Amino acid sequence: MNVLVIGSGGREHALAWKLSVSPQVDQVYVAPGNPGMDHVAERLPIAGDDGEALAAAAKKYDVDLTVIGPEAALLAGVADIFEREGLKVFGPRKAAARIEGSKAFAKDVMKRYGIPTAEYAVFTDFDEAKEYLVEKGTPIVVKADGLAAGKGVTVAKTLQEAEAALIDILKDDTFGTGAKVVLEEYLEGEEISLMGLVHGDTVLPLTESQDHKRAFDHDEGPNTGGMGAYSPVPHIGKDVIEEAIDAILNPVAAAMVTEGTPFTGVLYAGLMLTESGPKAIEFNARFGDPEAQVILPRLQDDLAELILEVLNDRTPKLTWKPETLIGVVAAAEGYPGNYQKGLLVPSNETFHAEESMIFYAGVGGETDNLRSSGGRVFLVASFGKTITKAQKNVYKRMRSMNLEGYHYRKDIGNGGVGE
Ligand SMILES: Nc1ncnc2c1ncn2[C@@H]1O[C@H](COP(=O)(O)OP(=O)(O)O)[C@@H](O)[C@H]1O
Ligand SMILES: [Mg+2]
Confidence at residue 349, expressed as pLDDT on a 0 to 100 scale: 66
DSSP 204: E
Question: Which residue from 41, 39, 43 is spatially nearest to 351, judged by alpha carbons?
Answer: 39
Instruction: Say how many C-beta atoms besides its own lie within 10 A of residue 150's C-beta.
Output: 12
**Are residues 270 and 180 located together in one domain of the fold?**
no
Triad 376, 379, 382: Cα angle to 5°:
160
DSSP 317: P
**Are residues 149 and 281 located together in one domain of the fold?**
no
**Are residues 322 and 282 located together in one domain of the fold?**
yes
Total domain count, the chain: 3
- Counting ligands in written order, the one closest to the CA of 191 is 1
Question: Which residue from 281, 286, 275, 269 is spatially nearest to 208, judged by alpha carbons?
Answer: 269
Residue 232 and residue 413: Cα distance in Å, rounded? Answer: 10
**Are residues 260 and 181 located together in one domain of the fold?**
no
Residue 336 and residue 213: Cα distance in Å, rounded? Answer: 11
| Contact present, 233 and 190 (Cβ < 8 Å) | no
pLDDT digits (tens, 9 = 90+) for 92-112: 999 999 999 999 999 999 999
Residue 150 pLDDT grade (very low, low, confident, very high; cuts 50, 70, 90): confident
Residue 386 and residue 230: Cα distance in Å, rounded? Answer: 11
Cβ–ligand 1 contact at 83 (below 6 Å):
no
Mean pLDDT, range 119-132, rounded to an integer: 96
- Counting ligands in written order, the one closest to the CA of 100 is 1
Q: Is the pLDDT of residue 344 over 50?
A: yes
**Are residues 123 and 271 located together in one domain of the fold?**
no
Q: Is the pLDDT of residue 354 over 90?
A: no
Residue 104 lies in a domain: no
Question: Which residue from 2, 4, 14, 11 is spatially nearest to 351, judged by alpha carbons?
Answer: 14
164: which residues sit within 8 A by CB, 6+ positions away?
154
Residue 97 lies in a domain: no
- Of 158, 185, 212, the residue at which a domain comes to its end is 185
pLDDT digits (tens, 9 = 90+) for 185-234: 999 999 999 999 999 999 999 999 999 999 999 999 998 989 999 999 99
Cβ–ligand 1 contact at 184 (below 6 Å):
yes
pLDDT > 70: percent of the chain: 98
Cis before 23? omega within 30? no
Ligand 1 atom closest to the CA of 118, numbered from 1: 1
Ligand 1 atom closest to the CA of 150, numbered from 1: 23
Residue 111 lies in a domain: no
Mean pLDDT, range 361-376, rounded to an integer: 96
**Are residues 213 and 345 located together in one domain of the fold?**
yes
The CATH number that applies at residue 211 is: 3.30.470.20
Instruction: State the residue range of the domain holding 277.
Output: 190-416
Cβ–ligand 1 contact at 222 (below 6 Å):
no
Residue 110 lies in a domain: no
- Of 131, 155, 185, the residue at which a domain comes to its end is 185
Confidence at residue 294, expressed as pLDDT on a 0 to 100 scale: 98
pLDDT digits (tens, 9 = 90+) for 5-36: 999 999 999 999 999 999 999 999 999 999 99
Instruction: Provide the terminal-to-terminal Cα distance of the chain, rounded to the nearest Å.
Output: 46
- Of 185, 202, 223, the residue at which a domain comes to its end is 185
| Contact present, 312 and 95 (Cβ < 8 Å) | no
Triad 66, 147, 253: Cα angle to 5°:
55
Cβ–ligand 1 contact at 206 (below 6 Å):
no
Confidence at residue 351, expressed as pLDDT on a 0 to 100 scale: 60
**Are residues 248 and 364 located together in one domain of the fold?**
yes
Mean pLDDT of the chain: 95
Instruction: Say how many C-beta atoms besides its own lie within 10 A of residue 239's C-beta.
Output: 8
Residue 362 and residue 341: Cα distance in Å, rounded? Answer: 9
Mean pLDDT, range 291-310, rounded to an integer: 98
| H/E stretch holding 271 | strand 264-274
Cβ–ligand 1 contact at 240 (below 6 Å):
no
CA–CA distance from 164 to each of 13, 66, 95, 142, 155 (Å)? 38, 42, 31, 10, 12
pLDDT > 90: percent of the chain: 92
**Are residues 327 and 363 located together in one domain of the fold?**
yes
Residue 419 pLDDT grade (very low, low, confident, very high; cuts 50, 70, 90): very low
285: which residues sit within 8 A by CB, 6+ positions away?
71, 74, 91, 92, 96, 97, 99, 100, 101, 263, 265, 266, 267, 268
Residue 329 and residue 28: Cα distance in Å, rounded? Answer: 25
Residue 160 and residue 158: Cα distance in Å, rounded? Answer: 5
Q: Enumerate the β-bridge partners of residue 273.
A: 190, 278
Confidence at residue 378, expressed as pLDDT on a 0 to 100 scale: 98
**Are residues 177 and 207 located together in one domain of the fold?**
no
- Counting ligands in written order, the one closest to the CA of 71 is 1
Mean pLDDT, range 382-389, rounded to an integer: 96
Mutation to probe ligand 1, out of 102, 103, 153 (largest number of atoms < 8 A from CB): 153
**Are residues 210 and 225 located together in one domain of the fold?**
yes
Residue 99 lies in a domain: no
Cβ–ligand 1 contact at 280 (below 6 Å):
no
Confidence at residue 175, expressed as pLDDT on a 0 to 100 scale: 85
Instruction: Say how many C-beta atoms besides its own lie within 10 A of residue 72's C-beta.
Output: 18
Amino acid at 346: P
Residue 96 lies in a domain: no
pLDDT digits (tens, 9 = 90+) for 36-89: 999 999 999 999 999 999 999 999 999 999 999 999 999 999 999 999 999 999
The CATH number that applies at residue 75 is: 3.40.50.20
